[in-house]
Structure 1
Amino acid sequence: MALGISTQISAKKVQVPKMYIFGFAASFNDTIVHFTNVQEIDSAWMDTKNKFLQTRELYSYQLRDFLAKKKQMPRRTCIVVANKNRKKVEKKYLKFKKLYTQSKDKLQHYDIRYIEDQEFQFNTINLRDFYDDVNAKE
């Protein structure tokens, strides 16, 4: 390949029957952290190249908005972890939880709060609602 020329390979977005997801929220202003349970979402969209959940930020916004409106906890930094394989998501969930519950000095440094499924559920996001040119396979 000549210098200055780059090739860009576009990964396809595919709709998968289900994915598993959990959310985590924290703030730099206090020690409160929130965890959702591992949840199943139907008809999620995934990138074929890196296997990432598409529009992850919109799923994290769902959690952020829930915390702001229902729990009066605005300005939380929220992330989601997702995978087609439930065991992989559960493994990451346990690793994340351990990071916040077990410290070397055996002291509790965080106020951990669990969000039950009855309180909050992630809603599936249809990629076609956001992009006109979805190169998707169903």
Structure 2
Amino acid sequence: MKLTKILLSLLFAFVVCSAFSAKKKEPKAVYAFGVGASFTDTVVCYTEIQMLDSVKLDKGGFLPQRDLYSYQLKNYLEGTKGLPNRTCMIYFSKHKDRLEKELVKVLDRYKKNKSINLKKLDATEFRFKKPQE
């Protein structure tokens, strides 16, 4: 009986200690790329897949302030590249490999039209920045 109490006490202490020492899961990285196209121009610009700094998806799995990331690309294309009237879209995921497949799909849609010129924006040229909260 005494041995059973000691074993149960040790087991209880082990369970309590392990519950407090469990590591918290670090948030997975969020990756994104952007595409800027115009209905009146044949140039379509797209970014490389980039890891977004200090970003967590919300409970619904959406990127918070995703419209601001699109505006960053739009402002860059209009201001720096001189490409006005762009419609910019951002694609995001926690899984880089899935996002790479999505990028290929998007580019293939544009490549079907032979008159469209695709321009890649390197990460040295343009990087998404976390919007101010």
What's the TM-score once normalised by structure 2's chain length? Answer: 0.75
Cα deviation, residue 56, structure 1: 0.7
What per-residue deviation string (whole Å, max 9, x for no partner) do you get for residues 41-81 of structure 1? 121131212x1111110000000000011001122000000
Partner of 1:112: 118
Give the Cα separation in 2 of the matches to 1:43 and 1:17. Answer: 10
Aligned pairs (5 A) from 1:54-93: 54-93=64-103
Tell me if 1:41 matches 2:52: yes
Tell me if 1:53 matches 2:59: no
Partner of 2:129: 123
Give the Cα separation in 2 of the matches to 1:95 and 1:16. Answer: 27
In the superposition, relative to structure 1, how do residues 16 and 43 fare at CA in structure 2: closer, same or farther (>3 Å)?
farther
Which residues of structure 1 form unaligned runs of 5+? 1-14, 130-138
Which structure has the larger Rg over C-alpha atoms?
2
Q: Whose strand fraction is larger, Structure 1's or Structure 2's?
A: 1
Give the Cα separation in 2 of the matches to 1:46 and 1:96. Answer: 22
What per-residue deviation string (whole Å, max 9, x for no partner) do you get for residues 93-119 of structure 1? 011011111x2xxx6120111111111
Selected match of 2:43 from 11, 29, 32? 32
Give the Cα separation in 2 of the matches to 1:92 and 1:54. Answer: 20
Given that residues 16 and 43 in structure 1 are in contact (C-alpha distance below 8 angstroms), is that contact kept between their aligned partners in structure 2? no
Task: State the secondary structure of the residue aligned to 1:44.
Answer: coil
Which residues of structure 2 form unaligned runs of 5+? 1-25
Identity of aligned residues (%): 34
In the superposition, relative to structure 1, how do residues 26 and 79 fare at CA in structure 2: closer, same or farther (>3 Å)?
same
- Runs of 4+ residues deviating >3 angstroms: none
AA of the residue aligned to 2:71? Y
Give the Cα separation in 2 of the matches to 1:26 and 1:80. Answer: 12
